[in-house]
Structure 1
């Protein structure tokens, strides 16, 4: 694994950690301003907006990343320029279509689909952001392919800070006008911040082009092959190659996003059929999707960065025919993802009540966290498996899996939520995530020929984290008086103790070995790659 990969992953991890910390703090601020009902209304608006956004951008960023990474590997700057021109044109066309559709049909979407006229203003405001997000998506994929992740990372920070500054300064002027306008103020901040971020990234792109003129890509003079060994022609049919990557992902995303929109409409409707009022239904919906799930997803910052970088890394290695390197990378990612996600599960389950109170001052969140926390390993493994499948040119597989998952979710929501309420929604989330993860991981293992080491990567870590949580609970109950500390400090001390005991137990159970620690140390060195015999060993896992 290249040192630059680690550096980029570190940059993305730090950036994501900053963004998610700011984001969850901002979400607390927003929830205090508009309440759970306002969050539910906000989520409803975004269910339709997400479909428009998917239409405008789906598959674009990945296509740029994959193709630019491949062309950069053989030093073909002219083809890189051709790829960018065509993808920019495609993205702008799709973004404008989505923009006009969302703006002019916002009344129809708000009243007929969402069943709440208060969503109309928010939809109109969001439509103006689509063109700029489409352009940003292209630029983000380009910089990821060049491994210049600091540039899109800084753009994301600028976007987040801009949004917060705008919302904090205008929301109090909109609150007296009602919940509709308060939510619109938040959405206005989102739209303007997207425009600022896009302009900043375009400026960085122009500077990158000037930099290239003095330092062009160097050809590696390597024979570029497909998986079946036939020579790959890369200088012709750029549009065909773009569509071969982006179209399966786009179709999958369109179908899945449409089903997701239907799903988000059915949830409040189903809760009302269960016997709740419209206000309570929106509150429950906002509490689960706007409060509980962000806490579960927050720790994935440590994995999502690597997942994003795996696409160009695996695509380039796969293009050059380095199968052992690909398998080695996948094995390591599976191992580290599993070990880390199981630790996170234990910490969240142990401190679910404290997390709910510390972040939202809401005790009800703890029940949702305890029920959903066991899904964390499955969710995180599915995320990295999806990224690695895309890097291996398996877009059709991910498309099929995503569509199956979405159809199953809609069917379960239709029948379960009117019968069981919020409990039914939690059942849907659990079943859906398990099935989606099993299909994605199964496909990845089949394509690579690897096997998942369930004893070392799942069973033993589960026993280790269970023992760690029991020990820490015992320490807190009988030996450590935490009354003098704040809730946040209790969580921090407890999480640190659980992590320390967990790490010791992993070493004792041989889940982590000397070679794992040496591998981690080795990635900080300047060597371009790990020893081939190590790849070979992991390639046979």
Structure 2
């Protein structure tokens, strides 16, 4: 199986992530035009509860699989890799089936008492198969990531996105005449079909790789079984009998050794499950805090807006705009940070297993610097041009103040993923859990206080989300510094900050010169200007150099000095 380097694996996931994010904006743009902001709100309200349940399956198990398989691969223990995969699959499917049963049984009560919108019921039922489907896919994804082969994950994500887009839009349009709630359910059914396609892709890729591996192993066994040619053409019977006796004795000893090895391996099944749970439970707990925080955020935002005197339909529309339009724009660069985080865990786990502290610092510095450099221009573009972006993409320019308010916090979101991945790879998931819990308590408390204020409304929820993001990122950074002594170079932040301010100011000037032109043209010109100037300053200030470009897979060779 092909094993990629850290940078190459991250770039493969980045390419798929960027394609998926770009494609993902097709339904983000089109869905509000089909079912409206209120329909998007119904669709989005069904997600928080699903995320909570999925966290029990995907929160820590895939990460644990990737980590332990990476360590087993580093010492060539293929038998242990198989046992890890088998144990994880049984664990994941068992949890998924149990949660699906509970979800369906308690669905009426959940809709009545937890999710503050009865029209979510259809979407809630439609999404129930996702637990088992995603649970199985997550095990395969963790398996391939542990082997540091990111192609299956990237390919399945892209196929999932394409299928989801096609069927979400088509089914929401077809079912809309039956009511807004059925339009939202149609969009959710498209999500289910997309995940089915992703799972099929992973299964096909796994069986193809397994077939190749078995063919290779069979060929090696045939070669090993071939008798060596004797140097003497005439071997006497006594020598033959003696050789046979020696062979039988050796075979007996070998069988005894294999028997002992097999007995020893079987006794390790419990230890594999224990190791999987040792890492996955704290990681799941950390992500569960975030998921429950997301669920409580949706509940308390809606209730706080109602307390502020905003009617239910408007509150649902505002929440739909926040979760379905504004935050996806802010999270666009996380295609990169997610790719880095996924590649970082097995890479750091392997380095930690081999006691290579310098490699841990190197990988972490690479991921943090790339996250900072790649995310910064998006923050300034979304801050300066929030209104035309919201108007052109969603035909809802009235939501631009929300985007402008949250945009500067984006840089903390982009830096958070590599920091959390580092804590998990260093087997400190409990620390990440504590940091996330503190941030969640602060966020929910601020939502209750601020969003219920009529003068703030939905902006109060945005302020709470911003404070939570900054707080958790800072706590993660302090924790990483304490454990590995790593910290970012402050001068890098100063240089990047200066670059985006100068580039943004000039881009704003360019847009003002093109006011007579169509809005999309002036916005495009301003964005291109921002990116060109920003990249120029990155080279000028030596944040990016030729050596960085040479590390990019496939195209890096063109930057090598001959």
TM-score range, shorter chain: 0.7 to 0.9
Kindly tell me: are residues 465 and 193 of structure 1, through their superposed partners in 2, closer, same or farther at Cα, counting changes over 3 Å?
closer
- The 1:489–1:16 alpha-carbon spacing in structure 2 relative to 1, beyond 3 Å, is farther
**CA–CA separation in structure 1 for the residues paired with 2:522 and 2:8:** 32
Match of residue 285, structure 1, among 302, 309, 319: 319
Stretch of structure 1 that moved more, 516-525 or 333-342: 516-525
CA pair 130-236 structure 1, distance change in 2 beyond 3 A: closer
Normalized against structure 1, the TM-score is what?
A: 0.88
Match in the other structure for 1:520: 549
Q: Distance in 2 between matches of 1:183 and 1:522?
A: 44
2:510–2:525: 8 Å Cα contact kept in structure 1? no
Q: Distance in 2 between matches of 1:255 and 1:269?
A: 20
The reply to whether residue 429 of structure 1 matches residue 465 of structure 2 is yes
Unpaired runs of at least 5, structure 1:
219-233, 528-541
Q: Deviations over 1:168-201 (max 9, x none)?
A: 3333331111111111111122123222322331
What is the match of residue 127 of structure 1? 128
How much does 1:477 deviate?
Answer: 3.3
- Counterpart position of 1:9: 10
In structure 2, C-alpha distance between the alignment counterparts of 1:81 and 1:496, rounded to whole Å: 49
Determine if contact 2:7/2:552 at 8 Å carries over to the other structure.
yes
Partners in 1 of 2:413 and 2:304 — Cα distance?
A: 25
Aligned to 1:103: 104
Distance in 2, matches of 1:256 and 1:340, equals 25
How many angstroms does 1:3 deviate by? 6.7
Partner of 1:464: 499
Contact 1:129–1:194 (Cα < 8 Å) also in 2 = yes
Return the alpha-carbon distance in structure 1 between the equivalents of residues 291 and 547 of structure 2.
43
Q: TM-score, normalised by structure 2?
A: 0.85
Rounded to whole Å, the distance in 2 between the matches of 1:259 and 1:337 is 25
The answer (yes or no) to whether the contact 1:343–1:465 under 8 Å persists in 2 is yes
Residue aligned with 2:422, SS: helix
Cα distance between partner residues in 2 of 1:505 and 1:153: 31
Partner Cα distance (1:520, 1:396) in 2: 36
For the 8 Å contact 2:7–2:551, the answer to whether it is kept is: no
CA contact (8 A) 1:66 1:311 kept: yes
User: How far apart in 1 are the matches of 2:210 and 2:36?
Assistant: 46
Gaps of at least 5 residues in structure 2 are 221-267, 557-562
CA positional deviation for 1:137: 0.5
Structure 1 equivalent of residue 444 of structure 2: 410
Question: Does structure 1 residue 441 correspond to structure 2 residue 465?
Answer: no
Is 1:316–2:350 an aligned residue pair?
Answer: yes
Partners of 2:420 and 2:476 within 8 A in 1: yes
Q: 1:131 to 1:475 in 2, by over 3 A?
A: closer
- CA RMSD between the two structures: 2.4
Farther off after superposition, 98-107 or 459-468: 459-468
- The residue aligned with 1:159 is 160
How many residue pairs align between the two structures?
A: 504
C-alpha separation between the residues in 1 aligned to 2:53 and 2:546?
A: 45
- The structural deviation recorded for 1:73 is 0.8
- Output the CA distance in 1 between the equivalents of 2:21 and 2:555: 31
SS in 1 for 2:332: helix
Structure 1 stretch displaced more, 257-266 or 19-28: 257-266
Pairwise CA distance, 1:417: 1.2
Q: Is the 8 A contact 2:67 2:425 kept in 1?
A: yes
- Helix, strand or coil for the counterpart of 1:124? helix
**SS of residue paired to 2:127:** helix
Q: Which residue pairs with 1:504 in the alignment?
A: 536
